[in-house]
Amino acid sequence: MQTTASPSLPAAQQTASVRAPGPARPYGRYLYLAINIAILVFLLAPIAIVVVFALNPTPFIQFPPVGVSLRWFEKFFASRDFMHALGFSLEVAVLTTLSATALGASAALALARGNLPGARLIVATMLSPLMLPAILTGLALFQTYVLLDVGRPTWGLVAGHTLVTLPYVVRTTLAVLHNFDLRLEEAAQNLGASPVRTFFEVTLPLIKPGVLAGAIFAFIVSFDQFPVSLFLVSPGNETLPVTLFNYLKFDLDGTIGAASVVSIVLAFVVVIGLDRTVGLRSYVKL
């Protein structure tokens, strides 16, 4: 059994058994597992703390916890302010995702294909919001809106969010376009597909994984956006992070935790939903 590795063993295990036969073998595997678990703990610990905070019956976390309660969730869902903020955040995130995806994907196509002069400079400009602190972007937009005297409309906020999420869509779409074989489009045209048809039959399906990844980033970044929103929301029409921030200034209790848990679940639902409907998975194995 030790000399003939079973064919169903994973390759890594087979080589391990060749290199270190006998009792040494399991330790490598335990170490490997331990490192992986440590990474997972590190990544998931903040979420766990938030969940504990949300389910903790007392306003402040106590160790050991004195029980489990849903009172903070009740308070969160009963609050008109929070519910309005949640709805508004979702609305802004959806609008931002749509505009950033449409603009970003089109821009990436033009930049990759259009033979534009100064394409590199344009790419750098489009990606620059990633490099700037978002608070500067927020402040600059705020001043611009004041100068233009447009007030603080929802579209202004969506425009701000689009600005900071556009780089994600441009980046991910450019990445798939970079590896795109142009002969596939020629093959489609050769078989009788008009340029428009070629785009929808060949180009779009093939760049979809990149566009979708960008769209998911855009949604999450917008839903989570604080610095830009802080400058651009109007009183009574605030996004969830801004409302949470204002709430925190006066109260600190499990409602914050409950709101965070709801946000996490929502983000999860969006990613899973996109995966199920437009299918990320079918592209992983091309």
The reply to whether 117 sits near another protein by the rule CB under 8 A is: no
Tell me: does residue 116 bind another protein (CB under 8 A).
Answer: no
Q: Give dist(CA 75, CA 81) in Å, integer.
A: 11
- What the block records as the tokens of 9 is 């063993």
- Nearest approach in angstroms of CB 14 to another protein is 25
Nearer to another protein, 87 or 114 (CB): 114
Among 15, 58, 106, 189, binds another protein (CB under 8 A): 189
Token pair of 7, please?
Answer: 């064919």
**Which tokens go with 140?**
């600059």
Helix (DSSP H) and strand (DSSP E) numbers for the chain: 14, 0
Binding flag, residue 194, another protein (CB under 8 A)? yes
CB of 207 to another protein, least distance (A): 11
Residue 277 in the binding site for another protein (CB under 8 A): no
Q: How far apart are CA 1 and CA 169, in angstroms?
A: 52
Element spanning 173, H or E: helix 154-178
Among the listed residues 9, 49, 191, 264, the single contact to another protein using CB under 8 A = 191
Q: Please report whether residue 213 would count as binding another protein according to CB under 8 A.
A: no
Can you give the C-alpha Rg of the chain in angstroms?
25
- Give backbone dihedrals phi and psi of 89, rounded to 5 degrees, phi first: -60, -45
Smallest separation (angstroms) from another protein to the CB of 209: 10
Which residues lie below 8 Å from residue 44, measured CB to CB, with a gap of 6+?
none
Considering only the stretches 53-61, 103-111, 161-169, 191-199, report the one whose residues sit in contact with another protein under the rule CB under 8 A: 191-199
Listed residue (133, 275, 101) closest to 204, CA to CA: 101
Q: Residues 138-177 vs another protein: string with x where CB under 8 A?
A: ----------------------------------------
Give the binding site for another protein (CB under 8 A).
Answer: 181, 183-184, 186-195, 197-198, 201-202, 205-206, 283, 286
